[in-house]
A and B are shown apart, each in its own frame.
Chain A
Amino acid sequence: MTKNSSIYWNPLLETMDREKLRNLQLKKFKRIFEWAYNNSPFYKKLYRDAGIELGDIKTYEDIKRVPKIDKGMLRNTQSKEPFPYGDMLAVPLTEVTEFRQTSGTTGTPVYQADTWQDWEWWSECWAYILYAQGYRDTDRLFLPFGYNIFVAFWACHYAAEKLGCEVVPGGVLDTEARILKMQELKCTAFAATPTYVLGMADTAMKIGIDPKSIGIKKITCAGEPGASIPATRKRIEDAWGAKVYDHIGATEIGAWSYMCTVQKGLHVNEAFFLVEIEDTETGEIIEEPMKSGKMIITAFDRYAKPCIRFDSKDVIRWADYDCECGRTFRCIDGGVIGRADDITKVKGVLLAPTAIEEVVRDFEELSDEYEVIVTKKGDIDDIMLKIEIKPGCESRKEDILKRLKDQLRVKTNLGYKIEVHPYGSLPRYALKAKRFKDLRKH
């Protein structure tokens, strides 16, 4: 229908004129707002208490008046009927076909209900991601994840099927068996967290298989910010000889952002989501590029448990560049830079854990694993970095440590105590890694 349509899943939306796109967002916001007001007791009370009624959303500016929700509210509503979702549910329980829950990294897990239509929507969002990353019906995609209560790559599976890819579910296999199966089937792609992708490369080498020899062409990462951190992405691409693409999503939101084959920023799927970036100090919505704030997000087309102005606590920033791919969906720069509750002051300096990862992963003499521990001794903050030096590089330990300390000081303005641990002794993670531990709060 339009020029170069083959690189877009849907050129009608992905190349839509910005003014039309903004207008579409307003109309879709009104639609989901009215749905939630009319069908979810939780939302109806929330909006009535805030003095907002049906018909009050007339302009884009009016959206800012709509109360935000957060994870605490999602948890609290679960104590109400209907079990186990609570009164945020906006459809009869008999229409719910899917249960998933959040990982519980930041507290009690949130239970997520989806109807079959919502589930189709999940895979539609993922279809945009996979198509933009070059997946086609010639791909054989391996999915090495647990297929359990966490949403993880479930929708990726369904979306890949929708695209016509051949999907190999690597569910209960262990890492070695997964690698052997990918090799045997000559898989062309796989999707996992960056931590696990690196762990798989490590395991492959241990069993005598060079990951590059398997023939993987592309890897889609999610669940952690790694694939948007240049040093980590390079490490993965070097290990596998494949292109690595990032994607961001969340159980309670949906799959809202993706890197395309240009590999610059991450496009926000603005036809399906409204992303607002809020200044954490002033509460104002940030429109200007490269200024960080926390993300407030709305999913326009998710009906069972609507997600309207959800304060995700993810810190992001609009990019100051347009992507060469021709999509008009805005990009965020550097993926999720941190969590509003993770970005913390250490010794009076604002620190984002991703900045440490960027430095560590840039040292080819260091293993993929590291750990950062912040403690307080008296009134003084103390920051410790635990690392592993790769076998064969130990003789250069003093030089490595000196360069590492220098780089950390340059990138984060902080001095670190560094502990070198034997190779293979730091914890390995299959899903989301917890490498930053701030023990001052406990």
Chain B
Amino acid sequence: MTVDDKIDKIDEKIREIKEAAGEIERLGGDIEAIKKNLVRLRASVKMLELNVSDVKMVM
């Protein structure tokens, strides 16, 4: 697998995490413990995007 292939794959997985976060949020409704922990999760996922997904912009 080339580096570009790996970046593609990681980016795909990052998007899956984001989709899963959206689904958890919908299922969680008004539960604050879910909403606020998802803020933290999304911030961490954003750092993965900055480190990997952004590279896709110039591949």
Contacts and interface: CB of A to CB of B under 8 A. Distances in A.
A12 B47 contact: no
B6 interface: yes
Interface stretch (A20-28, A148-156, A338-346, A426-434): A20-28
Q: Could you say which interface size class chain B belongs to?
A: 10 to 19
A120 interface: yes
Interface stretch (B13-21, B22-30, B48-56): B48-56
Interface in A1-51: 1-2, 10, 12-13, 16, 20-21, 23-24, 27-28
Given A12-B7, A116-B39, A20 B58 contact: yes
A10 B58 CA distance: 16
B14 to A, nearest CB: 13
A11 to B, nearest CB: 9
A121 B44 CA distance: 9
A272 interface: yes
Given A1-B3, A23-B58, A116-B43, A12 B50 contact: no
A105 B40 CA distance: 34
A27 B59 CA distance: 12
Nearest to A9: B51
A237 interface: no
B58 A12 contact: no
A16 B51 CA distance: 12
B57 interface: yes
A8 B41 CA distance: 24
Which one of B40, B42, B50 has the highest number of Cβ atoms from chain A below 10 Å of its Cβ?
Answer: B50
A16 B7 CA distance: 14
A252 interface: no
Given A1-B6, A12-B7, A121 B58 contact: no
Which one of A10, A23, A117, A121 has the highest number of Cβ atoms from chain B below 10 Å of its Cβ?
Answer: A117
A117 B42 contact: yes
Interface string A77-119: 0000000000000000000000000000000000000011101
A265 B47 CA distance: 26
B42 A12 contact: no
Given A23-B58, A24-B57, A12 B39 contact: no
A121 B45 CA distance: 11
Contacts of A12: 3, 7, 51-52, 55
Contact of A117 (B43, B54, B58): B43
B46 to A, nearest CB: 5
A2 B3 contact: yes
Which one of A20, A23, A27, A116 has the highest number of Cβ atoms from chain B below 10 Å of its Cβ?
Answer: A116
A12 B43 CA distance: 20
Nearest to A24: B58
A28 B44 contact: no
A147 to B, nearest CB: 21
A278 interface: no
B50 A272 contact: yes
Contact of B40 (A20, A23, A116): A116
A209 to B, nearest CB: 40
Contact of B51 (A2, A13, A27, A115): A13
Interface of B: 3, 6-7, 39-40, 42-44, 46-47, 50-52, 54-55, 57-58
30 contacts: A2-B3, A10-B51, A12-B3, A12-B7, A12-B51, A12-B52, A21-B58, A23-B57, A23-B58, A24-B54, A24-B55, A24-B57, A24-B58, A27-B54, A27-B58, A116-B43, A117-B39, A117-B42, A117-B43, A117-B46, A119-B43, A120-B47, A121-B47, A121-B50, A124-B47, A124-B50, A124-B51, A271-B54, A272-B50, A301-B50
Interface of A: 1-2, 10, 12-13, 16, 20-21, 23-24, 27-28, 115-117, 119-121, 124, 271-272, 301
Instruction: Sort A-B residue pairs by CB-CB distance and give the 9 closest, nearest first.
Output: A117-B43, A120-B43, A20-B58, A23-B58, A24-B58, A27-B57, A124-B47, A116-B43, A10-B51
